[in-house]
Copies of this chain bind each other. A is one copy, B any other.
């Protein structure tokens, strides 16, 4: 019982204790425990035994004080309250947590001031690297760091091309959705898209258009209908499309929400999904797609994978091997009932 302040009796045993118990100097004990060279095997074993016996845990701060590596990374989110960042965090936490890296979380609330403040705090804690998780896939301006700390941008790429960024390939997503519909016999395809201010919406539309063009097709309404991300927009547009283009045999929703709205309207109008009209969405958000009636096909953005590769890239960058540039990560189809080929089309 020393005279330390109350509550400080955490991990009492110090390196000196271990050294003494093992009958060596602190320096030797340190080398032994850190797998440094020039330590006799027998000594190393003795030290390790002593450490184990004393339940020794090295003092994190003392270590950090003279090693310039803290095994801590900062995760800066623009908006925690966003269903897209979660899987990314999860994948990242996964990649980090398996090792001995800890994650310092900071939520900037999509506010530049807060972001700068949090960056300063993170830097003062000497994080080894920074993972910047965006709110959308719209490119964002790079964070301004006064010092040289590796940064990886995920979801929202940095506008600076020499930075390292990972973002889902929304053009491919659009292509996959369109290709699937064409391959299952659909020809009169419409796209009800989300907000035009979102790169995700524009990229998906582009992918759809390009893919259709490859098949000598084009969107039913001539162009993609940009609007909002919600069900209501999906309902409204589906109703209009069903009237103005009764021949429609497939509708792509810019998001799962929109697609749900589309299904809702079509069903109420007496159009059968998928027999009369196939419907597909984007994001493959579990709660929306699996319990839909019928279950909704969707394009999965592989967000957890995205987080994982970004985290790995950050670890590599910390290790000195930066993987710079913009990386568009692949996405994949998640097929369900809503795009089952209609029987008549099968022949």
Q: Does A343 contact B (CB under 8 A)?
A: no
Please tell me if the beta carbons of A68 and B7 are within 8 angstroms of each other in the complex.
Answer: yes
Q: Which of B104, B106, B126, B291 contacts A257 (CB 8 A)?
A: B291
Residues in B with CB closer than 8 Å to A232 are: 291, 293
Q: Does A107 contact B (CB under 8 A)?
A: yes
Please tell me if the beta carbons of A97 and B102 are within 8 angstroms of each other in the complex.
Answer: no
Residues in B with CB closer than 8 Å to A80 are: 86, 89-90, 93
Q: Does A35 contact B (CB under 8 A)?
A: no
Please tell me if the beta carbons of B90 and A107 are within 8 angstroms of each other in the complex.
Answer: yes
Please tell me if the beta carbons of B291 and A126 are within 8 angstroms of each other in the complex.
Answer: no
- Show the binding face of A for B, using Cβ within 8 Å: 4-5, 7-11, 57-62, 64-65, 68, 70, 75, 80-81, 83, 86-87, 89-90, 93, 97, 100, 102-107, 114, 118, 121-126, 147-149, 230-232, 235, 257, 261, 264, 267-268, 287, 290-293
- Additional 16 contacts, C-beta under 8 A, given A11-B147, A57-B124, A60-B124: A4-B68, A5-B68, A7-B148, A9-B148, A10-B123, A11-B123, A11-B124, A60-B126, A97-B114, A100-B121, A102-B104, A104-B104, A230-B290, A231-B292, A261-B291, A264-B293
Closest to A228 in B: B291
Alpha-carbon gap, A116 to B58, bound state (A): 18
Please list 14 pairs of residues, one from A and one from B, whose beta carbons are closer than 8 Å in the complex, sorted by A's number: A9-B148, A10-B147, A58-B124, A89-B107, A93-B105, A97-B114, A97-B118, A100-B121, A102-B104, A102-B121, A103-B106, A104-B104, A104-B105, A231-B291
Please tell me if the beta carbons of B97 and A90 are within 8 angstroms of each other in the complex.
Answer: no
Residues in B with CB closer than 8 Å to A107 are: 89-90, 93, 97
The complex is assembled from copies of this chain, and their number is: 2
Alpha-carbon gap, A62 to B264, bound state (A): 61
Please tell me if the beta carbons of B105 and A287 are within 8 angstroms of each other in the complex.
Answer: no
Please tell me if the beta carbons of B287 and A257 are within 8 angstroms of each other in the complex.
Answer: yes
Alpha-carbon gap, A340 to B232, bound state (A): 20
Residues in B with CB closer than 8 Å to A292 are: 231
Residues in B with CB closer than 8 Å to A104 are: 102-105
Alpha-carbon gap, A96 to B310, bound state (A): 27
Kindly provide the distance from the CB of A318 to the nearest chain B CB, expressed in whole angstroms. Answer: 10
Alpha-carbon gap, A135 to B86, bound state (A): 14
Alpha-carbon gap, A207 to B65, bound state (A): 55
Kindly provide the distance from the CB of A110 to the nearest chain B CB, expressed in whole angstroms. Answer: 12
Closest to A77 in B: B93
- Sorted from nearest, which 5 A-B pairs have the closest CB atoms? A231-B291, A105-B105, A8-B68, A61-B64, A230-B291
